[in-house]
Amino acid sequence: MTFDGLGLSPKVLSAVVDAGYTTPTPIQSGAIPHALNGKDVLGIAQTGTGKTASFVLPMLTRLERGRARARMPRTLILEPTRELAAQVEENFTKYGKNHRLNISLLIGGVSFDEQERKLERGADVLIATPGRLIDHFERGKLLLTGVEILVIDEADRMLDMGFIPDIERICKMIPFTRQTLFFSATMPPEITKLTQQFLQAPVRVEVSKPASTGVNISQHLVKSGSKPWAKRARLRELILAEGDDLKNAIIFCNRKTDVATLFQSLVRHEFDAGALHGDMDQRARMTMLENFRRGNLSLLVASDVAARGLDIPDVSHIFNFDVPTHSEDYVHRIGRTGRAGRSGKAFTLVTRSEEKYVQGIEKLIGQDIKWLDGDLSTLNETDEPQERPKRGRTDKTRDKRKDVRSGKAEEPDKKDVEPKEKPAAQSQDRNGVARANDQKKPDRQKSKKEPEAPIGFGDNVPDFMKVPGKV
């Protein structure tokens, strides 16, 4: 099947051909016809299968009729992260180049004033993250009573980030007669309940079983010591071992602090690396992503903010510096490689404390992941050092201090130990009495000889006292 048989408008088909696409992916061929007919769609497909185009193309076709009004968008697309929202905007720009549509992007890290000016002109397409959308609504700058199509993208990620209460609130602001397109890579029980609440008689389009990984991705587990410096050294060994096969790679960490630490470590070891996490401002995040897409950076250390839906088509390797605590995140992380029919490699560093998370991942994806060079039972003392080398100390000094702490070293003879305080030297005063030199010297003011106290009135005797008395 080609795009010609899906019912898209000539303008949209022309843009698709100019973009170099001729054959739709399974999720696109299954979802686009139902979306064009105005039906609610529940799309389930693994990441990297073209879910974004499956709702962008039919929306462009339907938006050719009608006109936007100020502060009243015609369609609304909700995304969990700023990067995903910006990426959807790029898709509308690419496929909607033959249309004259107003597209408004409401995300954090951008001035409210600029976003409000776009809303005043009228938005045919409103792409937003839930938090910033509610902020504009509470300011009275936005009305959602004119929304005809609602798209909830990456619903499982919305659940992980705690956006579901915001989604429920937003849905109450939108007309009940809307069309809803609901897309997710996994379908946990909580998401299934949401579909029953948001969708009306939806058409289920499932092109792969939930939480499945790409068949063209080579997955490996790598044993590692539990110490952070041991994991960083193991990661550097893996990167160097791949050699020319490694074109570029995304390295995922569970915590933002680990992202910064690992990035600094790679730069210190002269690797061409960049960092991406949620605490960075929006301009820095977009610049970092663009540099990675263009090949200016070969390694991108990132948190799970880069795990969902980012369109970086040619990533050769994925390294999980930390095993994700949520099994679904593993599917999304390694889905950044092996896209569009390409092959990819995924390596996951595993410590003894993370083995339980690996078991959960293998249960979710329904397959065992191979170990690269033996499992954790083969972990030896060399792989897991007990103490980090200290800078500026020799091994001899470090071993000596360690022996003293453990009590193995012999205590030195007290006679050989120089006392901290020397005994006070003895001297004699004028009377021949021994006096210690270390005694505190009296205050100078007190050392001065004070005059003897006068007896009676002293020299100041009143005159009446001098009068001789009668005997």
pLDDT single digits (tens) 371-387: 998 888 887 755 555 44
Dihedral angle sign, alpha carbons of residues 327, 328, 331, 336: negative
Q: Are 241 and 186 part of one and the same domain? A: no
Q: Are 198 and 318 part of one and the same domain? A: no
Confidence of residue 453 (pLDDT cuts 50, 70, 90): low
Q: What is the pLDDT of residue 124?
A: 92
Closest by CA to 303, choosing from 242, 371, 232, 253, is 253
Q: Assess whether pLDDT exceeds 70 at residue 189.
A: yes
What is the pLDDT averaged over residues 343-348? 93
Q: What is the pLDDT of residue 343?
A: 87
Does 41 or 455 have the greater pLDDT score? Answer: 41
Q: What is the pLDDT of residue 468?
A: 77
CATH of the domain at 12: 3.40.50.300
Q: Are 192 and 227 part of one and the same domain? A: no
Q: Are 19 and 167 part of one and the same domain? A: yes
Q: What is the pLDDT of residue 308?
A: 66
Residue 153: domain span: 3-206
Tokens of 201: 């008689």
Residue 44: inside a domain: yes
Tokens of 410: 């012999």
Q: Are 202 and 223 part of one and the same domain? A: no
From 186, 206, 226, the end of a domain falls on 206
Q: What is the pLDDT of residue 277?
A: 82
Domain count within the chain: 2
From 206, 238, 263, the end of a domain falls on 206
Q: Are 182 and 73 part of one and the same domain? A: yes
Q: Are 169 and 51 part of one and the same domain? A: yes
Query: Rounded to whole angstroms, how far apart are CA atoms 390 and 251?
Result: 27
Q: What is the pLDDT of residue 186?
A: 76
Partnered with residue 69 across adjacent β-strands are: 72
Give the pairing of strands 103-106 and 125-128.
Answer: parallel
User: How does pLDDT run across 240-266, given as a tens digit for each residue?
Assistant: 999 999 999 999 999 888 999 999 999
Burial class of 369 by CB neighbour count within 10 A (0 to 12, 13 to 18, 19+): middle
Does 140 or 434 have the greater pLDDT score? Answer: 140
Residue 459: inside a domain: no
Q: Assess whether pLDDT exceeds 90 at residue 449.
A: no
The amino acid at residue 425 is A
Residue 248: inside a domain: yes
From 378, 402, 428, the end of a domain falls on 378
Residue 412: inside a domain: no
Q: Lowest mean pLDDT: which of 12-26, 360-374, 424-438, 444-458? A: 424-438
Residue 347 near residue 317, CB atoms below 8 Å? yes
DSSP 172-236: HHS-TT-EEEEEES---HHHHHHHHHH-SSPEEEESS-TT---TTEEEEEEE--SSHHHHHHHHH
Q: Are 192 and 317 part of one and the same domain? A: no
Confidence of residue 336 (pLDDT cuts 50, 70, 90): confident
What is the pLDDT averaged over residues 186-202? 87
Query: To the nearest whole percent, how much of the chain has pLDDT over 70?
Result: 80
Q: Are 172 and 231 part of one and the same domain? A: no
Residue 389: inside a domain: no
Task: Scan for tokens 């991406």, then name that residue.
Answer: 276
Sheet holding 125-128, edge to edge: 103-106, 125-128, 75-78, 149-152, 179-184, 41-44, 203-206
Q: Are 329 and 245 part of one and the same domain? A: yes
Q: Lowest mean pLDDT: which of 422-426, 456-460, 467-471? A: 422-426
Q: What is the pLDDT of residue 455?
A: 67
What is the pLDDT averaged over residues 423-431? 46
What is the pLDDT averaged over residues 403-409? 47
Query: To the nearest whole percent, how much of the chain has pLDDT over 90?
Result: 46
Average confidence score pLDDT of the chain:
82
Task: Scan for tokens 């010297």, then name that residue.
Answer: 441
Q: Are 12 and 147 part of one and the same domain? A: yes
Residue 30: inside a domain: yes
Q: Are 79 and 196 part of one and the same domain? A: yes
Closest by CA to 260, choosing from 280, 241, 244, is 280
What is the pLDDT averaged over residues 219-244? 93
Confidence of residue 402 (pLDDT cuts 50, 70, 90): very low
Task: Scan for tokens 């605490």, then name that residue.
Answer: 279
Cut 0.75: pTM above it: no
Q: What is the pLDDT of residue 329?
A: 85
Q: What is the pLDDT of residue 436?
A: 45
Q: What is the pLDDT of residue 304?
A: 82
Residue 440: inside a domain: no
Q: Assess whether pLDDT exceeds 80 at residue 292.
A: yes
Q: What is the pLDDT of residue 452?
A: 64
What is the pLDDT averaged over residues 351-356? 92
Q: What is the pLDDT of residue 300?
A: 94
Residue 413: inside a domain: no
